[in-house]
């Protein structure tokens, strides 16, 4: 009998062990900290990771394996990714977990490509995404919500989201045989004003309940003692982040103040940087990147390179930086001057980083292409098919509509992004010239009796304008949401207009039409209309064109040079915003997965200006820094 009991005990124990590839030994799958020796232990053995950030939501699913394989080929042994709440729960009663939102497929692919995973589920992620990855509808449910705090109205939704995510990823935790070794609590919380310890401890407890000891909980904050003081969480491993040209020793000394033992970790090491509209494309010199990386690795540190592959903010997902007084929206590309380009091509920075990694970790023997072929599909003639301010547009596009005495926010209207038309009939007397005042979030094209008279801009701080014709009857403000703030203390970034006056008199009685423009396929069969090129004084246009792809589709770039401001769709896929007049980005990345052999369709929603040629061009090279290129390269 005792022999049977012994056998049953052994068999039960085998459920928690795995036969390793070396010497046929058995070990428990785990990831933990060996505090005594200042190191990590992976499955009981000393381990150090060199990871790279790649956010699955910034690349089509068809490209995940390619990007991950290229990361592994550089010697990386882990990938770090955020999980974006707004992607997975776009409305309160709607969940998305398929297609480009298939998180578990991303985790499977990472494991198949021999990469461990560092998961950053938020709920707030920053990531230069609209609203820092938070779903916009939080602001409609509870307008005075205290974000990133223990406000019960916020925590209610956070718990639903976190439990949904953690339940899905549970099989992928290291202790359950999966690739996830670390899970982050919140995100750089020490940079946020609230410093609510009850909130971060509550998040820790939510995660512990689902994760247990199957993965390591951690935090990361800037290399500043005050940030670590508010951002670190008892029971979670405290790490820091910093870029090149930083004093590594002093930075890790700050980490030691809050994490006295354990390995050094830089959870966000920046090989490039983010870029806003109307500024030069941001670059970081490769020599600086490799020098500091070498120094960290020589100290035995684990490092995550943010970003190793940046990708693209397709659609309306790019966020903005600023506060109550400043506002700077980010460009569509998230190339980030990373080791892998927006199209996944290898850069000199990639090979330089690989050389440094090879001094500390084995480089796998993986053959990968240096650069994928690009398509040169030539010019596309665009013809106008719909005027956005027409009655037909309101019927065909089925915009959200409402009437109220005061202008409602995008959030109150249930419009997550892009455009709302605010319209009112003026009554009473006015001065000559009339003065329009409106606090606009973020940019407004102003029309008086259906004629464009000017622009209000949050970025430029323009909230007043003179209207020479004081006798107008109808006033329209077409307001563009250019991206909600993703970082800082002013995250409650409602969109729309407020405090509107005309020559000092408040305006009441508004009609509002919200154009989400997620999908413009509904207009693709409309017949051409007559419209003039140049400045669009009668309002925005939707235009259509076609082009042919011979053979297997290739990645390409849509050159928007000479156009005004808008978004472009290829075969129904929203490529994102363009604004070549301000730059620095001029081309929009078009993945081959968006194309098809034969005829393809380009739809453009242009807000401000159409060039005389009525053409855009699909070309094999990107233009991400317009000001650095000679005139011949801009054609």
Provide the pairing of β-strand 78-82 with 50-54: parallel
Distance of alpha carbon 213 from alpha carbon 211, whole angstroms: 6
Closest by CA to 55, choosing from 121, 10, 144, is 121
CA distance readout (Å), 547 to 377, 521, 623: 7, 17, 21
Distance of alpha carbon 527 from alpha carbon 515, whole angstroms: 21
What tokens were used for 34? 């060996």
Q: Which of 32, 113, 186, 188 is catalytic?
A: 188
Collapsing DSSP to helix, strand or coil, 632 comes out as helix
Q: At what angle do helices 152-169 and 103-112 cross, to 10 degrees?
A: 40
* Residue 494, burial from CB neighbour count under 10 angstroms (0-12, 13-18, 19+): middle
Q: Which residues contact 125 (CB under 8 A, 6 or more apart)?
A: 82, 83, 84, 85, 132, 133, 187
HSE of 602 in the Cβ direction (CA atoms, 13 Å)? 29
Length of the chain: 635
Q: At what angle do helices 248-258 and 286-298 cross, to 10 degrees?
A: 50
> Which residues are registered as beta bridge partners of 33?
40
395 as an active site residue: the answer is no
Distance of alpha carbon 244 from alpha carbon 289, whole angstroms: 5
Distance of alpha carbon 98 from alpha carbon 105, whole angstroms: 9
Taking a C-beta distance cutoff of 8 angstroms, is the pair 617, 633 a contact? Answer: no
DSSP codes joined into one string, 384-422: EEEETTSHHHHHHS--EEEEESSPPPHHHHT--SEEEEE
Distance of alpha carbon 161 from alpha carbon 613, whole angstroms: 49
Question: Is the peptide bond prior to 363 cis by the omega test (within 30 degrees of 0)?
Answer: no
Distance of alpha carbon 626 from alpha carbon 231, whole angstroms: 39
Closest by CA to 318, choosing from 129, 143, 462, 141, is 129
SS3 sequence, 130-166? HHHHCCCCHHHHCCCCCCCCCCHHHHHHHHHHHHHHH
Helix or strand run (H / E) with residue 175: none
188 as an active site residue: the answer is yes
Number of neighbouring beta carbons within 10 Å of residue 217: 18
Taking a C-beta distance cutoff of 8 angstroms, is the pair 52, 308 a contact? Answer: yes
Q: Could you say which DSSP state residue 364 is in? A: P
Using CA atoms of 111, 114, 116, 120 in order, give the dihedral in degrees to the nearest 10: -60
Q: Which residues are catalytic?
A: 188, 268
């Amino acid at each position: 009998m005792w022999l049977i009991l012994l056998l049953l005990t052994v068999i039960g124990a085998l459920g928690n062990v795995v036969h390793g590839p070396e010497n046929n030994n058995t070990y428990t799958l785990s990831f933990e900290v060996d505090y005594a020796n200042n190191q990590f232990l992976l499955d009981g053995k000393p381990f150090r990771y060199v990871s790279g950030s790649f956010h699955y939501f910034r690349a089509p699913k068809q490209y995940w394996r390619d990007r991950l394989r290229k990361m592994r080929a550089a010697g990386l042994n882990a990938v770090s990714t955020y999980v974006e709440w707004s992607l997975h729960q776009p409305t309160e009663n709607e969940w998305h977990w398929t297609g480009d939102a298939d998180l578990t497929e991303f985790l499977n692919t990472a494991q198949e490509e021999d990469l461990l995973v560092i998961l950053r589920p938020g709920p707030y992620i920053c990531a230069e995404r609209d609203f820092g990855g938070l779903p916009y509808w939080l602001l409609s449910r509870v307008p005075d919500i205290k974000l990133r705090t223990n406000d019960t109205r916020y925590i209610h939704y956070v718990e639903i989201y976190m439990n949904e995510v953690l339940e899905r990823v549970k099989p992928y935790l290291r202790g359950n045989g999966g690739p996830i070794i670390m899970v982050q609590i919140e995100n750089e919380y020490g940079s946020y004003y609230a410093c609510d310890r009850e909130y971060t401890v509550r998040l820790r407890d939510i995660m512990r309940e689902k994760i247990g000891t199957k993965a390591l909980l951690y935090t990361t904050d800037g290399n500043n003692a005050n940030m670590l003081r508010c951002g670190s969480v008892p029971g979670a491993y405290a790490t820091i982040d910093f870029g090149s040209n930083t004093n590594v020793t002093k930075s890790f000394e700050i980490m030691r103040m809050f994490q006295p033992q354990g390995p050094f970790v830089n959870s966000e090491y920046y090989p490039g940087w983010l870029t806003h509209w109307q500024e030069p494309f941001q670059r970081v010199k490769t020599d600086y990147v490799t020098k500091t990386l070498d120094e960290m690795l020589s100290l035995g540190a684990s490092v995550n390179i943010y970003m190793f592959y940046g990708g693209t903010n397709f659609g309306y997902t790019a966020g903005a930086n600023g506060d109550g007084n400043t506002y700077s929206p980010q460009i569509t590309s998230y190339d980030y001057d990373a080791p892998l380009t927006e199209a996944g091509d290898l850069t000199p920075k990639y090979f330089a980083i690989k050389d440094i990694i090879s001094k500390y970790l084995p480089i796998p023997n993986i053959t990968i292409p240096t650069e994928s072929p690009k398509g040169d599909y030539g010019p596309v003639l665009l013809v106008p098919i719909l005027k956005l301010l027409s009655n037909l547009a309101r019927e065909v596009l089925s915009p959200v509509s409402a009437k109220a005495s005061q202008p409602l926010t995008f959030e109150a209207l249930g419009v997550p992004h892009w455009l709302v038309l605010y319209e009112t009939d003026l009554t009473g007397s006015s001065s000559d010239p009339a003065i329009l005042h409106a606090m606009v979030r973020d940019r407004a094209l102003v029309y008086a009796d259906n004629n464009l008279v000017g622009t209000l801009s949050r970025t430029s701080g323009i909230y007043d304008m003179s209207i020479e014709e004081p006798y107008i009857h109808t006033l329209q403000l077409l307001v563009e949401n250019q991206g909600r703030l993703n970082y800082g203390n002013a995250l409650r970034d409602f969109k729309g207009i407020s405090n509107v006056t005309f020559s000092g008199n408040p305006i009441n009685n508004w009609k509002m039409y919200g154009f989400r423009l997620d999908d413009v396929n509904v207009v693709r069969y409309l017949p051409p209309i007559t419209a003039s090129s140049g400045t669009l004084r009668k309002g925005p246009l939707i235009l259509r064109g076609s082009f042919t792809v011979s053979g297997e589709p290739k990645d390409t770039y849509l050159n928007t040079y000479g156009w005004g401001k808008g978004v472009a769709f290829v075969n129904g896929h929203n490529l994102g915003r363009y604004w070549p007049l301000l730059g620095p980005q001029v081309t929009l990345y078009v993945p081959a997965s968006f194309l098809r052999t034969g005829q393809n369709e380009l739809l453009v929603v242009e807000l401000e200006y159409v060039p005389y040629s009525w053409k855009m061009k699909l070309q094999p090279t990107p233009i991400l820094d317009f000001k650095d290129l000679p005139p011949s390269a801009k054609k």
